[in-house]
Structure 1
Amino acid sequence: MSIDRETFERATEDELRDVSVPDQVLAFLAAYRDRAFKATEIARQLDIDPDTVSTALTRLKSRALVEHKSAYWALTSDADRLQSSADYERATRLFNEQLGPEDRDDWEAHAPAEPHPSVVSDEDTEDDTS
């Protein structure tokens, strides 16, 4: 599988060894940004299980990084969306390296007992109108 030149320049050897399936799919679609592919073709080209590729494509679509029409998938044409996703992933990787990955149990242990004042339930709204 090929990667774009920017990834090649900024990534460490460890990062290049451990490229995730969604990243591989994105890189493939970026390399052929003027085309759309069926999931099975992407899987065959990357030598990855088709079900794994389909799952990755669905997740990438939910993040608005790929577009889907009929049986075909393509990289989003929204360059700003792609850049903001890449920036977020770089920042997350940097923070995880410096501070360690987040622990959901720690977040829940420190969560306030009461909801934030900006969070209004339907019940609260009904009380205000009575």
Structure 2
Amino acid sequence: MSIDRDTFENTSEDELADLSVPDQVLGFLIANDDYAFKAREIASQTGLDEGPVSTALSRLKDRELVEHKATYWAVTDDEERLEGYSGYERATALFNEQLGPEDKDAWREHAPEKAHPSVDTEDDQ
């Protein structure tokens, strides 16, 4: 996974080395918690190989940190469970340093008005 120059210069070698594949995968899913992804999409977006991503997803599922349905993966909505995962704090801190804290209002401002076809809505039922 690539990092920006500022993170490269201001993050210790230990901190960069400590971000494991599961931490990177979980961090990506947390940053995109409104969506579910296929393993290959996660691999492509994070710059990781699909094999390690698939392994990480299985391990994260065993820890009940991600959910799996058909070929899609999403982060759990159990915030207490996430907060208890030590890698979550490291991943969140690193992503916040790189990208800044998430601004939900900015997300809403740019959100499409119509839900993605893969999302069940009450109107469809």
TM range, smaller chain: 0.5 to 0.7
* TM-score (ref. length: structure 1): 0.56
The runs of at least 4 consecutive aligned structure 1 residues that moved more than 6 Å come to 87-90
Q: CA deviation at 1:85?
A: 1.6
- Match of 1:21? 21
Cα distance in 2 for partners of 1:88, 1:35 equals: 18
Following TM superposition, by how much is the alpha carbon of 1:12 offset from its aligned partner in structure 2, in angstroms?
Answer: 5.1
Please tell me the residue identity of whatever aligns with 2:47.
Answer: D
Distance 1:20 1:87 in 2: 8
The letter for the 2-side match of 1:59 is R
Structure 1 residues 50 and 17, CA gap change in structure 2 (3 angstroms): same
Match of 2:44 in 1: 44
Alignment coverage as a number of residue pairs? 83
Tell me the distance in 1 between the aligned counterparts of 2:48 and 2:18: 14
- 1:61-100 alignment, distance < 5 Å: 61-86=61-86
For 1:84 and 1:69, how far apart are their aligned partners in 2? 23
**Paired position in structure 2 for 1:108:** none
Whole-Å separation in 2 of the counterparts to 1:89 and 1:41: 23
- Kept in 2: contact 1:2–1:27 (CA 8 A): no
Unpaired runs of 5+ residues, structure 2, are 4-10, 91-125
Asked whether the equivalents of residues 21 and 53 of structure 2 are also in contact (C-alpha less than 8 Å), the reply is yes
- Native 8 Å contact 1:38 1:71 kept in 2: yes
- Kindly indicate whether structure 1 or structure 2 has the higher relative contact order, using CA contacts under 8 Å at least 6 residues apart: 2
Q: SS in structure 2 opposite 1:73?
A: strand
Question: What is the aligned-residue identity percentage?
Answer: 63
**Rounded Cα–Cα distance in structure 1 between residues aligned with 2:31 and 2:37:** 12
- State the alpha-carbon separation in 1 of the partners of residues 32 and 43 from structure 2: 14
Question: What TM-score comes out, normalization by structure 2 length?
Answer: 0.58
Instruction: Give the superposed CA RMSD.
Output: 2.6
Task: Provide, for residues 16-67 of structure 1, a one-character-per-residue CA deviation record: whole Å limited to 9, x for no partner.
Answer: 3431000000000010011100000000111111011000000000000000
